[in-house]
Amino acid sequence: KSNTTAIDVASLSVILEKNKHYYKEGVVADYIPELGKVNPAAIAFAIVDSNGKLISVGDRDHKFTMQSVSKIIALMLAVMENGEKSVFEKIGYYGTDRPFNHFANLETMGKPLNPMMNAGAILTTSMISGQEDKPFIKILEMIRYITNNPSITYSQAVYQSEKETGHRNRGMFYLIKNTGAITGSEDQLNNYFRQCSIELTTEDLAKIGYFFANECRRYDGDNRYENKSLAKLILSQMLIAGMYEFSGEYARTVGLPSKSGVGGGIVVSVPHCMGIGVFSPALDNHGNSLAGYHMILDLANEYGLSIF
């Protein structure tokens, strides 16, 4: 591995400045109306290096909703509570050539392709035990723990907006319910909408990336959730489906387990090494942050971070 401790504020700044123009070529998600209100030019770049040191540049205090990045936390809790075998009896390990909100496999095989697409994530969230919003609270508490940031909460406005307009997600929820894999009420779908609406910063994302890169150990060394096998599972899912149908090309060009969200964040894990967080809300046509992708690509190339 290259010496990632050589990455400093100056190196991140250079990469951010070089790539910030990409927001003009992307489109801010507005299918969830509340998401369309963000400043499209906001941008941030953060890493937690192999020593657990946090470095960040740009709009590092800017909060945005984590959206699909929350799917890795829901997967973590579903597996912790139910075991991998029982979770993956109901969800596939498949990669995808389909967008994140596709119904792929629900009709033909009766189960979601993987836990990184909406259908799979709606199901993992429903596997976390507890009444009403308790499963969501567990997800929120886990994110607060990983980031060591108890102030993290969720946006009521984005939550309401998702709930009012998430007709495809509601459709998936009922198709899965029809197979018997989901037995609860729409409270479970609401928990998925809530987890997507959790607001955090790019620095928080870098800490999440570090956690899964390092066998579920926190950046400050706390190891109460240490779990090598679980980290390997989550990194493998991030690699094959974390960027949806772009995952194959992304594995070729960047070569790092990553998870994007339509809020414009991407979390990246450099296995056994460091975490990276990027944010820029303008997306490419797969729903991945465009400037975010280019910042990750430049950092990976410059420091030889690809796992391949």
Comparing C-alpha atoms, which of 288, 258, 287 is closest to residue 271? 258
Task: Say how far apart CA 195 and CA 204 lie, in whole Å.
Answer: 15
CB contact at 8 A, 295 and 45:
yes
Give the active site residue among 159, 219, 244, 303: 244
- Contact flag: residue 101 with ligand GLN (CB under 6 A): yes
Q: Is 39 annotated as a binding residue?
A: no
Task: Say how far apart CA 248 and CA 124 lie, in whole Å.
Answer: 23
68 is catalytic: yes
CB contact at 8 A, 22 and 290:
yes
Q: Which is nearer to ligand GLN, 162 or 203 (CB)?
A: 162
14 is catalytic: no
CB contact at 8 A, 116 and 259:
yes
**Mask of contacts with ligand GLN, 131-170, x by CB under 6 A?**
-------------------------------x------x-
- Contact flag: residue 4 with ligand GLN (CB under 6 A): no
Q: Is 262 annotated as a binding residue?
A: yes
Residue 128 carries which side chain, given as an amino acid letter? I
Smallest separation (angstroms) from ligand GLN to the CB of 100: 4
Give the active site residue among 22, 159, 192, 293: 192
Number of residues interacting with ligand GLN: please give it, by CB under 6 A.
11
23 is catalytic: no
Residue 209 carries which side chain, given as an amino acid letter? G
The binder of ligand GLN chosen from 287, 292, 299, 303 (CB under 6 A): 287
Task: Say how far apart CA 198 and CA 140 lie, in whole Å.
Answer: 8
The binder of ligand GLN chosen from 50, 67, 201, 258 (CB under 6 A): 67
- Contact flag: residue 126 with ligand GLN (CB under 6 A): no
Q: Which is nearer to ligand GLN, 163 or 218 (CB)?
A: 163
CB contact at 8 A, 75 and 230:
no
69 is catalytic: no
Q: Which residues contact 206 (CB under 8 A, 6 or more apart)?
A: 46, 47, 48, 54, 56, 267, 275, 276, 277
Q: Is 169 annotated as a binding residue?
A: yes
71 is catalytic: yes
Helix, strand, coil share of the chain (percent; to 5)? 50, 10, 40
- Contact flag: residue 50 with ligand GLN (CB under 6 A): no
- Contact flag: residue 262 with ligand GLN (CB under 6 A): yes
1-40 per-residue burial string, b: 16 or more CB within 10 A, e: under 16: eeebeebeeebbeebbeebbebbeebebbeebebbeebeb
- Contact flag: residue 92 with ligand GLN (CB under 6 A): no
Q: Is 191 annotated as a binding residue?
A: no
Give the active site residue among 50, 68, 155, 280: 68
Smallest separation (angstroms) from ligand GLN to the CB of 117: 8
- Contact flag: residue 195 with ligand GLN (CB under 6 A): no
User: Which amino acids are annotated as binding site, given as ranges?
Assistant: 68, 118, 162, 169, 192, 244, 262
Q: Which residues are catalytic?
A: 68, 71, 192, 244, 262
Known binding positions for substrate: 68, 118, 162, 169, 192, 244, 262
